[in-house]
A and B are shown apart, each in its own frame.
Chain A
Amino acid sequence: MRTFGSLLVRGLIVGLFAGLLAGTFAYVMGEPHIDAAIAIEEAAGATHTHETGDAAEPAAAEEEPLVSRDSQRAGLFLATALYGVALGGIFAVAFALLRRKLRTPSDSYAALGLAAAGFVGVVLIPFLKYPPNPPAVGDPETITKRTITYLLTLVIGLLAVWAGVAASRWAARLGEQPWIRWGVGGAAFVATVVAAYLILPAINEVPGSFPATLLWQFRFASLGTQAVLWTLLGFGYAAVMDRRTKSVHAEAVTA
């Protein structure tokens, strides 16, 4: 049996690698769109840095940005790596606490299933309700509202996944056929998501003049970055768990 600490350290390391590779994906697929969006922003005469804050101050536009564009491109890797470490650690804690409740003898399926559930709850559900926006889109005045609604969709996304799993387990009493369990589970999941989507406020701050193609490409790159992160997290954790299982078998054989 693995201790909590060793499960956690594995998650942190897998998360670091997943984050760095997601950063590489984001650098190749996302950075050109961020540059294009910033060019639009600068052409519109708006300043992007939060630092300058008061737009009414004419001197603000003249100031050197706090962090250069090149540093921000490098900072992308710092951001995805740290985010990957945080997600990997939380993933490992979830694995440690939920492993016994997952009805599979395979640690691989457990890790992949948890990663899939996490991706749907933490990424896909928030993405569909509040798709991410490139620089130049978004009203600084509404950042608090957008942050809260984003975090709400994230929590509701995880709740919806939980509701789906709980409902499908309950439905197993009605019959073991997959169409009953998947149907009831899927219905509970969809009902939770649709209710949340209807209750939460609509937010659309994309200016009419913003190029639709660029918006689509940026959002697709953002979704891809997070898909890479969660996929590698799931497969990476399944892989490190597998090595452990083998060593246990070896010990059992030699013992």
Chain B
Amino acid sequence: MPTPARSVAVPAVSPRLLALALLTVGLLLMLAYLVAFDQGAVSRSGMYLHELMHDGRHLLGVPCH
């Protein structure tokens, strides 16, 4: 079932787009890691950010200590 061209809102997949997508996802996964698992290695703030986001981690369903 071909999609009408008019409704496709995305650029064509190219090697350049894939590289960009990979880089973006990598950076965003690091951000998610910062919230979910980091204990100072990424944030460079010791345990401060880890403890600050403690309640969020529990309620977002991430395993915690």
Contact = CB atoms under 8 A, between A and B. Distances in A.
7 contacts: A7-B9, A34-B55, A34-B58, A76-B55, A79-B35, A218-B58, A245-B7
Size bracket of the A interface: 35 or more
B51 A65 contact: yes
Interface string A77-110: 1111011011101100101110110111111000
Contacts of A79: 35, 52-53, 55-57, 60
Interface in A170-196: none
A101 to B, nearest CB: 9
B11 A1 contact: yes
Question: What DSSP secondary structure best describes chain B's contact surface?
Answer: helix
B35 A138 contact: no
A129 B28 CA distance: 25
A174 to B, nearest CB: 17
A155 interface: no
Contacts of A85: 28, 31
B44 interface: no
A241 B58 contact: no
- 3 smallest CB-CB distances across A and B, nearest first, come from A79-B56, A75-B52, A79-B53
A204 interface: no
A234 interface: no
Contact of A105 (B3, B11, B13): B3
A65 B29 CA distance: 29
Interface of B: 1, 3-4, 6-11, 13, 17-18, 20-21, 24-25, 28-29, 31-32, 34-37, 39, 46-48, 50-65
Nearest to B54: A72
Question: What DSSP secondary structure best describes chain A's contact surface?
Answer: helix
Contacts of A132: 58-63
Given A66-B51, A99-B10, A100-B13, A26 B56 contact: yes
A21 interface: no
Nearest to B14: A4
A67 B65 contact: no
A221 interface: yes
B25 to A, nearest CB: 5
B5 to A, nearest CB: 10
Nearest to B27: A89
A97 B13 contact: yes
Contacts of B21: 4, 93, 96-97
Nearest to A2: B9
B27 to A, nearest CB: 8
Contact of A78 (B20, B36, B53, B62): B53
Given A80-B56, A86-B28, A51 B3 contact: no
Contact of A86 (B1, B11, B29, B54): B29
Nearest to B21: A93
